[in-house]
Amino acid sequence: MPEADACPFSDCLFDENASLLERTAALLEDLEPDTYATVDARCLGGSIGGHTRHCVEFYQGFLAGLEGGRIDYDVRARDARIENELPHAIAALRRTAAHLRQAAATQDAMHLLRVVENHNGNDTDWSATSVGRELRFLLSHTVHHCALIAILLRLRGREVPEGFGIAPSTLRHRAAQKAITSCAA
């Protein structure tokens, strides 16, 4: 049985995604603009800015799709300012997190949507999904890109907060294993 103070399913999913974007913004605040925008060949030619922009634009696609009931993650602005201008990126992350929190008040995680599967020339295939399913996807997708950001920072000798870029389920599992180990000792 869920705890009395546990947040509703939908709110938790929105909150977890918004919190990840806020933690990413906080991490970026300590970077120099050059560190943020520089492409690193050791990490498939990616940059911290590129990964940040990519994630922000996926959330923008999700939020835009809520209104019309159709989400197409391939239709993105590819905003060079988010990718290259650190203050703009931090503002975009915070703004997107705020929009997610606002959407939580009006959205049901079970609400059905359609998401584009692929574009084959002129044909577009749409699949059934839900708000909750897409929030889970976005969380996983963003954690993956945060892991790449963490790698880029470590390659530059930078410290990364513990747990950044690691899935919440993995962090919970590690904590449970640590608790079991300390109880057994």
Structural domain contains residue 1: no
pTM of the entire predicted model = 0.89
47 located within any domain: yes
Q: How many domains does the chain fold into?
A: 1
Tens of pLDDT, residues 97-135: 999 999 998 887 778 888 887 666 666 788 999 999 999
- Domain of 142 in residue numbering reads as 9-184
**In the predicted structure, residue 27 carries a pLDDT above the cut 50:** yes
Question: What residue spans of the chain are helical by DSSP H?
Answer: 9-28, 33-37, 48-68, 80-84, 86-104, 131-155, 168-184
The CATH number assigned to the domain holding 48 equals: 1.20.120.450
